[in-house]
Structure 1
Amino acid sequence: MSDWFRQAANGCITLTLHIQPGAKKSEFAGLHGDALKIRLAAPPVDGKANEALIRFIADALGLAKSAVHLKSGQTSRRKVLEILGTSTTTIAGLADR
């Protein structure tokens, strides 16, 4: 299993992400150390980047936004998300997009 995601006993998957807000477009950008790097078009102002991140991940996985929860990193580039309702195989594929 990769360093940037883990599955808990309750089925929840935790993602470690490195976010680059204010990019030209929202996209996956490969690995950044032990985190998956994501470029977000949203600015890091008033929680807009966090909201865009949740929407971006939910859309990429075909999940409702309510299935994606920002666990930590509200004001940091390094964020930890918890996701319900998907598999580790699907999550692993995000790094290849």
Structure 2
Amino acid sequence: MPACYRLGPEGLSLYLRVTPNAGRDAVEGVEIRDDGRAVLRVRVRAVPDGGKANAAVLALLAKALSVPRSSMALTSGQTSRLKTVSIAGDGPALAHRLDAFSIA
């Protein structure tokens, strides 16, 4: 199964598919897209207006992965549903936490 992240020297890059304006905040699991890429599906109640949904995504991921919000940064996909988030820290430990999410 392909991973929804890429390890780097300072942490990892996490690939997401975000659904804003959802009924609940949730990390739903890994999804394999039609092109074969794996993404982590995330739903947030926040609306995609003025960066509110992006902020909600980062807060939700920080809580789900038990990392400080300050260690995360949105590196691509500001206005897209497909996003990349970089997370600074121990990459293998973060990868182990992400592997706990099952395929959606």
TM-score w.r.t. structure 1 length?
0.88
Q: Residue in 2 aligned with 1:76?
A: 80
Measured on the aligned residues, the alpha-carbon RMSD in Å equals 1.9
Q: Residue in 2 aligned with 1:89?
A: 96
**Poorly superposed stretches of 4+, deviation over 6 Å:** none
Alignment of 1:13-92 (within 5 A): 13-30=12-29, 31-33=31-33, 34-86=38-90, 87=93, 88-92=95-99
Going from structure 1 to structure 2, the CA distance change for 1:95 and 1:68 (only over 3 Å counts) comes to: farther
Query: Where does structure 1 lack aligned partners over 5 or more consecutive residues?
Result: none
Number of aligned pairs? 96
Aligned partners of 2:2 and 2:12: how far apart in 1?
A: 12
Aligned partners of 1:23 and 1:50: how far apart in 2?
A: 13
Matched, 1:12 2:15: no
- Tell me how far 1:42 sits from its aligned partner: 0.7
